[in-house]
């Protein structure tokens, strides 16, 4: 059996590097608090499109139907902007230190006032679509004024475009074994945005390894993944990923995956937490991310007490947690309660077992059955049923 390294591998870049970009263009981004980290050409990549379609044919995308519906757009920028010649890539650091042990799937946030579910770092503050999106729109307006004969469109994780691929092509990053983009400036703790342009701004210098590389023999990300979503280097089964299950997946979560979700309420950072290329991550200076919206965790008691969609919106408006909606987050909270053996939450789970939303009700009933299995026979209660 192959021995896997546990020491910090040596392939960590000595300093942050970004490819040179035209300063007059970069200045437009700096004005909006964004960093232009590279420029790629807009040529299509049919070989990667074929590879992506093969991945889809394996049903690795789970219930994310839009991935197959828009597969032919992913590696074709011109399909989103006619005459596109350049893809301008921006990056925004979102890293913050977490109050729990790195790489522990069942960790609990230090200082929590009761059973609490953890939230992935990108979702602690304001929704990044809003943070980056509005700024990119202002940059687009500035570019339009500077080049009135050209056309521009901005996006951030809201189109089929393969952002990570074009970021790598722009010299801004490389793709790690956990399928995430790694930058020598941010590690993997950064968000990507882009502007498509009919003006040719040239192409950035290739990184040629200056962002580092996955160290030989390091499989920490694969080893730490509780569900086996990272089933091979550079290969992910999204249908098993905790981030997918807790954020994108609508409906019932397969029972065999529920215990493997640990204490993650929304998202998962495990494969990033153990990555040695994140060893020098610096805390973001972005106020919209630092200012707490959802924060690093949420008390399960408070989540399970949310009765209506309006109440949910009032609590999480402007936060990435809006993506899961009431159904998703209360479903997740019930599962985390079971994983934490949170017996104190039985009364709330009993209430949710009769919830009008069948997904929430089923998750609550499952959680109660799990809690029931862990108490002495004389303290067990009959399984909850919907009235």
pLDDT at 271: 98
pLDDT at 178: 96
Cβ(335)–Cβ(367) under 8 Å? yes
Distance of alpha carbon 153 from alpha carbon 88, whole angstroms = 10
Q: Which of 43, 157, 341, 357 is catalytic?
A: 157
Distance of alpha carbon 183 from alpha carbon 172, whole angstroms = 7
pLDDT along the chain (387 residues), means of 10: 42 76 94 94 88 74 69 87 97 96 96 96 97 96 98 92 93 94 94 97 88 92 97 92 96 98 98 93 95 95 98 98 98 99 98 98 99 73 50
Is 157 among the residues known to form the active site? yes
pLDDT at 93: 96
pLDDT at 119: 98
Burial class, 233, CB count within 10 angstroms (exposed 0-12 / middle 13-18 / buried 19+): middle
pLDDT at 207: 85
pLDDT at 374: 83
Distance of alpha carbon 244 from alpha carbon 261, whole angstroms = 11
pLDDT at 70: 74
pLDDT at 381: 58
Distance of alpha carbon 211 from alpha carbon 174, whole angstroms = 7
Cβ(4)–Cβ(177) under 8 Å? no
Going by their DSSP bridges, the two strands 235-236 and 230-232 should be labelled as antiparallel
pLDDT at 10: 44
């Amino acid at each position: 059996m192959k021995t896997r390294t546990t020491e910090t591998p040596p392939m960590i870049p000595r300093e942050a590097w970004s490819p040179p970009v035209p300063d007059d263009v970069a200045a437009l981004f700096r004005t909006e608090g964004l960093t232009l980290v590279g420029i790629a050409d807009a040529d299509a990549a049919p070989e990667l499109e074929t590879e992506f379609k093969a991945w889809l044919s394996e049903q690795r995308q789970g219930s994310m139907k839009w991935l197959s519906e828009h597969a032919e757009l992913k590696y074709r920028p011109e399909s989103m902007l006619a005459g596109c010649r350049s893809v301008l890539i921006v990056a925004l650091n979102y890293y913050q230190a977490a109050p729990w042990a790195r790489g522990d799937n069942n960790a609990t946030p230090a200082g929590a006032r009761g059973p609490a579910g953890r939230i992935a770092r990108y979702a602690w503050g304001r929704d990044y679509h809003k943070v980056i999106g509005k700024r990119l729109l202002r940059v687009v307006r500035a570019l339009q004024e500077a080049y009135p004969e050209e056309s521009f469109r901005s996006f951030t994780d809201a189109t089929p475009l393969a952002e990570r691929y074009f970021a790598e092509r722009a010299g801004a990053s490389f793709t790690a074994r956990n399928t995430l983009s790694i930058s020598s400036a941010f590690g993997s703790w950064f968000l990507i945005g882009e502007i498509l342009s009919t003006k040719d701004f040239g192409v950035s210098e290739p990184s040629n390894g200056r962002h580092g590389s996955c160290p030989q023999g390091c499989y920490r990300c694969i080893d730490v993944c509780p569900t086996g979503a990272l089933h091979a280097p550079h290969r992910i089964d999204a249908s098993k990923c905790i981030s997918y299950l807790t954020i994108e997946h609508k409906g019932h979560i397969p029972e065999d995956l529920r215990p493997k979700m640990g204490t993650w309420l929304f998202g998962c950072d495990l494969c990033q937490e153990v990555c040695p290329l994140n060893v020098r991550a610096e805390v973001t200076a972005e106020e919209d991310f630092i200012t707490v919206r959802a924060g690093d965790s949420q008390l399960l008691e408070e989540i399970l007490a949310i009765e209506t969609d309006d109440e949910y919106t009032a609590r999480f408006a402007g936060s990435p947690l809006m993506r899961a909606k009431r159904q998703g987050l209360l479903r997740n909270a019930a599962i985390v309660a079971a994983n934490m053996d949170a017996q104190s939450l039985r009364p709330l789970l009993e209430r949710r077992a009769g919830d009008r939303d069948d997904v929430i009700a089923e998750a609550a009933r499952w959680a109660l059955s799990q809690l029931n299995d862990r108490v002495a026979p004389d303290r067990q209660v009959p399984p909850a049923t919907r009235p």
